[in-house]
A and B are shown apart, each in its own frame.
Chain A
Amino acid sequence: MTCRLNQGGVIDRSKPLNFTFNGKPLTGYAGDTLASALLANNIHFVTRSIKLRRPRGIMGRGPEEPNALLQIGEGPSTLADQRATQVMLTEGMNARSINGWPSLEHDLLSALSLGSKLMPVGFYYKTFMGPKGWWERYEKLIRPIAGMGLTPDGPDPDLYEKRDLHCDVMIVGGGPAGLAAAASLIGTGLRVVLAHEQALWGGGLLASRTQLNGQPANAWLEETLAALHAAENIQLLPSTSVFGHYDHHFLGAIERVREQRPNAPIRERFWKIRCQRLILAAGAIERPIVLPNNDRPGIMTAFAVRESIERYAVLPGKQAVVFTNNDSAYATARCLLDAGAQVTVVDSRASAGTAAKAMLPEQTTVIYNAKVCDTTGKKRISGVTVRQTDGTFTRMDCDLLALSGGWNPSVHLHSHASGKLQWDEALATFVPQNDLAGVRAIGAMAGAFDFATALTQGSEVAREFATELGSKAGTDLSLPEVSHAEPGPSQLQPLWRVAGKGPAFVDMQNDVKATDIELALREGYRSIEHVKRYGILGFGTDQGKFGNIIGLGIVGELINKHPTEIGTTTYRPAWTPVTFGALVGPDTGELFEPIRQTPMHEWHVQAGAVFEDVGQWKRARYYPKAGEDMDAAVARECLATQKGVGVLDYSTLGKIEIHGPDAITLLERVYTNNWQKLGIGRCRYGLMLDENGMVMDDGVTARLGEQHYLMYTSTGGAARVLSWMEQWLQTEWPDLEVYLTSVTDAWGTISLAGPKSRELLESIGTDINLSTEQFPFMSLRTGAVNGVPARVQRVSFSGEMSFEVSVPANEAAELWAMVMRKGEAFGATPYGTEAMHVLRAEKGFIIVGQDTDGSISPLDLGMEGMISARKDCLGKRSLMRSELQRPDRPQWVGLRPKDPTKVLPEGAQLIEDPAAKPPVAMQGWVTSSYFAPRLGHAFALGFVNGGRARHGESLYAWDADAGVIPVEITQPVQYDPEGGRQRD
C-alpha cells in the first residue's frame, strides 16, 4: 500500500529509486530520505527498543530521531545506527533494522517488555553488582542483547579528506534566516561560507505554504540560490553538518560529499573552519508530549507529519489525532485534512490562538481542555484514549498520532562554546541568553519562529558584521514580503507529560521512562547532571534532542522548582555522530605518521632488510639470508665486523653544525667534559645532562675549524638536543655568539667497521691518508672519497677499527653501492641496528633511551671521569644531591647468565632469592641483552644496586615468561677492554 500523494512535495517523481528494507524490495523517489521512503511504503515500525524490545517507529524528521537508527549497506562499508530521517535515499540502498532477533517482526526477546516494571533504571548496576568477578559472565549474555548495530567487517574502502577553511563570515543553517544572511553578503568581498545540514536548501520553507512576494516560497528560494551560486565570495556547503563550535570561532563540520556528487572520490570531508564572525541559524526541533504508551509506531511529532506531507508528498496516516499544547500543530492538522485524512485535534488548552483556529475548517473536530492519556496497538498505533478535564474518557481509533509539546531551539552550537542560556516563558524552553563575541544566533534558534523575523534578522546581522569587518556595501537585498505563514508555537501552555497507566517514555533511545526520573529523585539525586546520569537520560546517539528538556520539565514539576533553577545538562560536541574516517582523512596506514628514510633506504629494501622504527626513522635492523632467522643473521653480521668489514647505514645520527667564536663555550656548558684542548681535526665523546643531572644524550663532537664544530647526537635525540641548545642560547645565553644548523638530512653516513675497513676505503679511492699515524683514532679528516667531498671520522661504536664516511646525501646511495661492490673482496657485510646494538653491548657502551630512562646519572654509569672538575655545566650541580651520591644507587654492570645460552629478557628484574614470597626487594634490572657472538655466550647489561662493588656476585633474573635465570655480575665492558682493536 503506498502512502504517496499524487502531487506535491519536492521529490522527483521521474527518478524512482529501488531499495530494500529488511530484505523487502521497495521503491522511493529522488529527494526522499530513507524515512520518507519507508513511510511512503506505509512502514512505520522499523526497530525494537534497546532494553525492552518494544516496537518503535519513525518519530522525528531530522537529527533528533531516536528510533529509526538503521544499518545501511554491507561488509566493510556498512554503516550502523544511521538516522533514516537524515539519510538521503539512493538507488540500491540496503537498509536493515538493528534490533530484533531473529527478526524485527518476531523478536524472542520482546518478552522483556513484559518485565519492564522489573527493570527500572539502575537495574543492571544493582542486579549484576556481584559476586565479585561475575560481571564478565553476565556481560557475555547482556552484550549481544544490548547491541547497537553491526561494525564493518573489514577496513573502510571509502576515502575521506580533511581540509582547513578560513572565512570572514561563517553561517550555519540554510533555512530562511541563514539564506537571507548569506544573500546580504553577496558582493561584499568578504569570504563567506554557508553550511547546511540537509541536501536541500530552505529549512522550514520546504514544509511550509508560506508565500514570499505572493509566490510559493520555492520561487524565492531558487532565485536566492542562483544568486548565491553565482557569487564569487560565497562558498556553499550543502549536506554539511557543523558538529562542533570551539573557542576562537573554530568549528568542525562533516560534508557528506556523495549526497551532492555521487561520483566524488571521497565519501565525506572533514572541514576545520576558522571564521571572524559566526552566524548561527540552526533552527529548532519540535518536542513531543510524554504520555503513557507514547512509543508505538505511528506516533510522530506534528512537524514530522507536516514535512512528510508537504515536502515528501507522503501521508503517514489516514485517521489522525493531533495532540498539542500550542498553535503550531494546527498547520499539521490542516495539511492532513487537505491530503484527505480524517483529523481530530486534541488541545490541552482551553482555546487556540486566532491564527491557529483560522487554519482549520469549522467542521473540524477540536477537543479543548483534553489530553491523550493512553494509546493502543502493537506494531502500529490503533487508537487513543482522550481524557477531558471534566473527567470523561473518550476512546477513538486512529493510525497516526501527531504530537506537539512546543519547540526547542537548537542552541547546541551556541552552548558548545560556553554560551549561556535563558528560559523563555512563552516558549517554555531555553534560548541563547547573550551572544558570544562575534557570534549571533538568529531565527528559530533564537526563538523567532516566524519567517519574516528570521529573514530580517539574517539580513540585519549580515550588514552589521560586514560593517564591523570594514567591507564595502553588499548588494541591496530587498527582503521578500511574507504571507500565508503558518502559526508558530504561540500561546503555548507547558505540558511535559500526561499522567496515567503504562510506560511513558521520555528518552526513547535508551528506554528511559518518566517513572525512571521519579526513581532517580527518590534515590536522592537532585542535580540535573546526576538525574541524567542515573537515568541514562540523553545518553543515546541522539543526545536527548527530544527528551532532555522534557526530562528537565518533569524534574521541575516533581521537586517544584523553576526550570531556570534546575538548568540544563551540558551540550557537548558532536551535534550528530561523526565518522572516524573523516576525522582521520588520509592519515592511515603508511601515512599514519611520517616515515623518515635514509638516502640508502631503497638499497636496504632491495637487499631484503628487516626494518625497525627508531623514532620516525626506518632503519635496517638486519639482512637475513635465505633460511636465516634473526639470531643467525645478527651473529653473521657481528662476526663480519670482527673478521672482515661490516657496513652500517649511519645516516640517521643527528648532526648539528656549530659555528662562532663562542662555540667552545657552548660545548663546555652543555657537555660534562672538557673541550678546551680539542685540536682541529680531533673528536671527542660527550655526555649531555638535563637540569636534573640525568643523562639526556651522548655522542661524538668533532672540531672542523677554529670556530667550527660538528656535533653528533643519538638518532632519536637529534631534535631534542637542537631545541635544548637553542632554548639555552635564546633565553639564558643570548650573549654567546654561536649559531647552530641541523645537517642531519644533508649528509649520508656509511660506517665501515672491521680490520679490513681501511683496505676497503683505500680501494674505493680517497685523497685522505688513512694510516694510523696520519689519521689516528678519534679524529676527523675532510677530503674526497670516490671523487665526492667527504668527512671521514675514526670513531668506533663496535669496538673494531672503523671509518665513518659522510658524503652529501644525494651522493650517498651511489657510494653505498660502490662500497658493497668493492667490498666483496674484503667480505663486506651490511649490518643492521640489531648487530650494532650487540657489538656496542659487548663494549659496554650505553644507548640513551634504552639503557637510560631519564633517571640515570653519569655517576650511576660509572662515568665520574667524564665530569670535568674545572668547569660547570648543565646538570652538574644536581649531581651533588645526597640522593645521587648514595653508594647503593643502581649502578651500570654487565650480567653474565650462568647458562651461556640463556638470553635474559630485557626488562627482567634482578633479585637475590628466587624462592622469596612477594613483595620481593628488587636488586636491579636488565636493560640490554643479547647472545654476543664475539664473546661466544649470552650477555646482558643493566643496573644493580651498588653494583660496581658487587662484581662476581650472583643474582637471579626473574621474568614472568622466562622464569628464573641465575646470573653473575660483571664489569660492563667485555670485548677488548683495552681498546686495541678500535685504535689499531
Chain B
Amino acid sequence: MIEAQRTHLGVSVQAEPASKTPTYNLRGNPQWLSDSVSKKLGLELPTTPNQVAANKQARLMWLSPDEWLLEAFEAEAADVEGLLSNRGSLVSVGHGLVKLQISGDQALHLLAAGTSLDLAQELTPGRCLQTRLAQVSVIITAEPADPAELAELAEPDADGHANQTPTITLWVRRSMAHYLWRWFEASLDRLEPGASGSGSASASASA
C-alpha cells in the first residue's frame, strides 16, 4: 500500500508516496542556515517550534531547533542542493515517508480517535506538529498539501467566511504506512454519520 484513497461519511483519506515531491531532512545551525534559506528558497527559516514557512517553491516545517522537513515543490526553481556549503546536512527522505491527506467535516474527529493533542487548538494554519497518532509517530499540518491551494485558502469563500477546513496532511514512516492506513480504515468504520450527536463543541460561538 502506497497509493490508496477511501471516503466514508464525507471524510476522505488519501495516501501517496511523499517522494512525489522531493522531500528532505534539513539539519544545521539556524544562524548560518537562515541566510542561505532566504537566498535559495525565498523563505524565512522557521525558528519558532512547530512553525511552517511556505511559498510556491518550497515548504519548511520546524522539527527541532536544528532540524526541518523540507519539501521542494519546484525542485529546479528552488536551489535545494545549493542550500548547504559544507556545513549541516541535507538528506533525501521522501522515499522513507508516506503522505496522507485527510479532509472533510469530521477530519478532526477521526484524528481525535488516535491522538491526545487538542488539534482544534494546536493545528492552526502556519503550524506543524509532531505527535503520536494511533501508535506511530507522525508529522502533521493543516497547511495545504498543494501550494496552489495556498492562494485558495487565503480567499474567503462565497459566504465571506475564511475557509476553515483545509486538508490535513500528515507524514508517516513508509514501513508503518500500511498499519496506519488500516487504522484509518478501522476508524472510518467507527465514525457516526454527521458531526452531531456525539459531535464536538466548537470554539467559535455562533459567528
Contacts and interface: CB of A to CB of B under 8 A. Distances in A.
A261 B94 contact: no
Contacts of A261: 192, 197
Interface in A157-176: 159-167
B85 interface: no
Contacts of B113: 161-164, 585-586
Given A233-B205, A595-B178, A810 B88 contact: no
Contacts, number: 164
B99 interface: no
Interface in A473-493: none
A235 B200 CA distance: 6
B51 to A, nearest CB: 20
A257 B179 contact: no
Interface string B184-207: 001101111000011111111110
Contact of A739 (B89, B93, B189): B89
B91 interface: yes
Interface string A584-610: 011100110111111101000000000
9 contacts: A159-B190, A166-B118, A191-B201, A257-B192, A585-B113, A586-B183, A594-B176, A598-B175, A746-B97
Interface in A511-544: none
A593 B135 CA distance: 7
Most buried by B among A590, A616, A739, A747: A739
A107 interface: no
Given A660-B87, A660-B89, A591 B201 contact: no
A741 B91 contact: yes
A739 B88 contact: yes
Contacts of A166: 118, 120-121
Given A165-B112, A660-B89, A747 B95 contact: yes
Contacts of A167: 201
Given A265-B192, A591-B182, A597-B178, A187 B205 contact: yes
Interface of B: 2, 17, 19, 25, 27-29, 66-67, 86-89, 91-97, 109, 112-113, 115-118, 120-121, 134-136, 173-176, 178-180, 182-183, 186-187, 189-192, 197-206
A750 to B, nearest CB: 15
Contacts of B109: 163
Interface in A616-662: 616-617, 657, 659-661
Interface in A269-299: 269, 272, 274
B205 A594 contact: no
A808 B19 CA distance: 10
A235 B112 contact: no
A657 B27 CA distance: 12
B126 to A, nearest CB: 20
Contact of A586 (B67, B186, B197, B205): B186
Contact of A659 (B89, B187, B202): B89
Contacts of B135: 587, 593-594
B19 A235 contact: no
A595 B174 CA distance: 11
A193 B198 CA distance: 11
Nearest to B118: A166
A744 B95 CA distance: 10
A176 to B, nearest CB: 21
Contacts of B200: 165, 191, 235
B136 A594 contact: yes
Contact of A745 (B117, B173, B183, B206): B173
A678 interface: no
A193 B173 contact: no
B96 A232 contact: no
Contacts of A187: 205-206
A264 interface: yes
A935 to B, nearest CB: 35
Given A597-B178, A745-B96, A232 B205 contact: yes
Contact of A189 (B179, B198, B203): B203
Given A591-B179, A593-B135, A266 B27 contact: no
A739 B87 CA distance: 10
Contacts of B87: 660-661, 737
Contact of A255 (B118, B191, B198, B204): B198
Contacts of A233: 201-205
Contacts of B25: 741
Given A586-B187, A594-B135, A747-B95, 7 more contacts: A164-B117, A594-B136, A596-B173, A616-B176, A707-B86, A739-B67, A744-B96
